[in-house]
């Protein structure tokens, strides 16, 4: 019952209109990795956004970039100097409303996918067809956190694996009912995948093997804490 | 260059004064797992706290518990009904100041270790002596997050592996200098380990193999965002 995380190399640059699922399937088939039932394919959102054309041109200056961030933000949670922590239309709270200028052509910026759960679902369907087994898909992005230094990868799109696992009502080893134990499974999967992907390596996909989840109904929208339940916006 | 995470079973209940390192070494030696150079042993803080005697007796009622939480909190960041988000003397911001009533004997509550980085360092020294190779240690706890539902495991004590990896100054695949890229490596390791430990399984230790880190000077204190840099307290 151990867990394995395999990087998938060789996908190369992705452009608007590319069939991302086909590129990933090709890269996996060219590797010595064989996909197994219930494997979870974790994909950095950047290649998803690029394939879907969620890329803005003409973003040359910091002022261009800031205008774009303001456009993508539905609410600004905090602002200090050049840093904007903003809510996106998906409900995610992250730096610069998820608009990113790294690992994209000069003069362009990459947005979040319009509907990352739907993107994950479509990718999963194609992967399941290609590999002939039930799979999970997590689309990841790199978020900062309140109170803690450093960024971590989290799930912004999920299909075929639970996003939040509810342990409430189960008991600990002393028979005590567990409290506060909705586990953000998909976020932990995204974090584990980042350990083999890294930030500057050009590896946008990892395969996580050994997740115990029946996959029923997972979606990253479940990871968004509703504003009325949130003490921090 | 893949990553593996192995659960370590068979440690059983831990009591004040137990030699936790010896219990973990025994459990590993009784398993079919052989420890390799640069493996990272991830240990849930609960067994560390128990071995160190960071357990409070006489916590029978919710009022007892709330009093203890107030005592452990150095500052209350948010409060709503029974939920207290508090800062601890270590600088961590978490629910109930890290005081936990699950997986501990009835009438007791477990505190955070007094100095989790020192605990990690001591455990690492004993593990390195037992296994004869350089190792990393991460002591983990389960924290909620602002804005996102569900809890994830994070690092509260670190030794022998970097806690925060600074990619600033490195370039992306287009030659652009990366921004905002201090990665919370130890938190991602803790999250990956939780994928094999779970909340109700009685598996308090996992071995993470395949982390690229020279380990120099890692400590979880580096994961604490200083209040003057923090927009959320």
Cβ atoms of residues A193 and B160 within 8 Å: no
Check pLDDT > 70 for residue A178: no
Mutate to test the interface with B, among A1, A3, A31 (most CBs of B within 10 A): A3
Rounded to the nearest angstrom, the minimum Cα separation between B31 and chain A is: 13
pLDDT digits (tens, 9 = 90+) for A50-73: 999 999 999 999 999 999 999 999
What are the counts of helices (DSSP H) followed by strands (DSSP E) for chain A? 5, 12
Question: pTM for the whole thing?
Answer: 0.96
**Mean pLDDT, rounded, for A5-10:** 95
Beta-carbon separation of A196 and B210 below 8 A:
yes
Q: d(Cα B182, Cα A66) in Å, to the nearest integer?
A: 22
Within an 8 Å CB–CB cutoff, is residue B32 touching chain A? no
Two structure tokens written together for A155: 């799930």
Give the confidence band of B180 by pLDDT, cuts at 50, 70, 90: low
Whether B179 has its CB under 8 Å from any CB of chain A: the answer is yes
- Please indicate whether, in this complex, the C-beta atoms of B191 and A196 are within 8 angstroms of each other: no
Reported confidence tier of residue B178, pLDDT bands at 50, 70, 90? low
Q: Closest to B149 (Cβ–Cβ): which among A164, A171, A192?
A: A164
Q: Does residue B181 belong to the interface with chain A, where contact is any CB pair within 8 Å?
A: yes
**DSSP string of chain B?**
--EEEEEE-------TT--HHHHHHHHHHHTT----TT-EEEEEHHHHHHHHT-EEE---SHHHHHHHHHHH-SEEEEEETTEEEEE-TTS-EEEGGG-B-TTS-TTEEEPPPSSHHHHHHHHHHHHHHHH-S--EEEEEEEE--SSB-SBEEEEEEEESS-SSEE-TT-B-TTSPBP-S-EE-HHHHHHHHHHHHH-SSS---EEEEE------TT--GGGGBPPGGG-TT-
pLDDT in tens, B35-88: 999 999 999 999 999 999 999 999 999 999 999 999 999 999 999 887 899 999
Q: Tell which A residues from 206 to 225 touch B, by Cβ distance under 8 Å.
A: 210-211, 222-225
Chain B residues near residue A211 by CB distance under 8 angstroms: 195
Torsion, Cα B26 B32 B37 B41, to 10 degrees, reads -60
């Amino acid at each position: 019952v151990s867990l394995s995380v395999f990087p998938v190399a060789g996908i190369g640059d992705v452009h608007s209109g590319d069939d991302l699922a086909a590129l990933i399937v090709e890269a996996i088939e060219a590797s010595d990795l064989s996909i197994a039932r219930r494997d979870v394919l974790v994909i950095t959102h950047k290649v998803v956004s690029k394939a879907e054309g969620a890329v803005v041109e003409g973003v040359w200056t910091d002022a261009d970039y800031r205008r774009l961030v303001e456009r993508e933000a539905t609410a600004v949670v905090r602002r200090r100097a050049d840093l904007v922590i903003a809510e996106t239309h998906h409900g995610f709270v992250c730096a610069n409303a998820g608009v990113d200028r790294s690992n994209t052509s000069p003069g362009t910026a990459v947005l979040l996918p319009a509907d990352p759960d739907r993107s994950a679902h479509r990718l999963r369907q194609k992967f399941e067809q290609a590999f002939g087994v039930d799979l999970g898909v997590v689309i990841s992005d790199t978020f900062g956190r309140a109170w803690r230094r450093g960024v971590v990868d989290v799930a912004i799109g999920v299909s075929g694996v639970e996003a939040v696992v509810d342990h409430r009502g189960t008991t600990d080893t002393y028979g005590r009912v567990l409290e506060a134990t909705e586990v953000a499974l998909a976020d932990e999967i995204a974090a584990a995948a980042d350990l083999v992907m890294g930030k500057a390596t050009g590896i946008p996909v990892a395969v996580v093997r050994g997740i115990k989840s029946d996959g029923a109904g997972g979606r990253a929208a479940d990871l968004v804490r509703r504003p009325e339940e949130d003490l921090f916006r």
